[in-house]
Amino acid sequence: MKEYTIQSIVRVFGWDELAAEDRLLIEAAKNATSGSYAPYSGFCVGAAARLQNGTVVIGSNQENVAYPSGLCAERTTLFAANAQYPDQPVVSLAIAARNKEGFVARPITPCGACRQVISGVEQRYGHPICILLYGTDGTHVIDSIDALLPLQFSDSYMK
């Protein structure tokens, strides 16, 4: 039997330790929560994607009375970015969430389906996406979806 270990690195930054462009992207994600439609969960999630040319595209969770038909903030954002700027790699994705008490202290992490979509976007453009998970206690920074979705499927397995 052989065994191997998979390591994920998450760096936690205080607000003042973040690069200015990352702070701006997080602010965009926080502002994007105002476009959330979350009458069922009451949980408003915003995301902001920065593209290689500097454009910022925002999105938010959009719920539906038929619950599974809704979509998370990460996917509304990435699909909007790819639909409007198909030639532009996504380089960073910030995510912020608030409940009725305000922005959460502990950052949320993308659900499994969103991780798969982030993986697909990285593969499509051949570019890692830096993921910024905002919480009032700190921002967790992950350099690529590899850390959140180890052993992900890619077309390299089919060759």
Q: Which residues are catalytic, by number?
A: 74
The Cα–Cα gap between 18 and 119 comes to 24
By CB under 6 A, the residues from 4 to 63 that bind ligand THU are 38, 41, 43, 45, 61, 63
Q: In angstroms, how far is CA 74 from the centroid of its own chain?
A: 5
Give the single-character DSSP code of 5. -
DSSP three-state, residue 110: coil
Q: Decide if residue 73 touches ligand THU (CB under 6 A).
A: yes
The Cα–Cα gap between 81 and 66 comes to 25
Q: Decide if residue 107 touches ligand THU (CB under 6 A).
A: no
Which helix (DSSP H) or strand (DSSP E) does residue 117 occupy? helix 112-125
Q: Decide if residue 111 touches ligand THU (CB under 6 A).
A: yes
Q: Which is nearer to ligand THU, 91 or 114 (CB)?
A: 114
Q: Decide if residue 139 touches ligand THU (CB under 6 A).
A: no
Q: Decide if residue 79 touches ligand THU (CB under 6 A).
A: no
Q: Give contact residues for ligand THU (rule: CB under 6 A).
A: 38, 41, 43, 45, 61, 63, 70, 72-74, 108, 110-111, 114
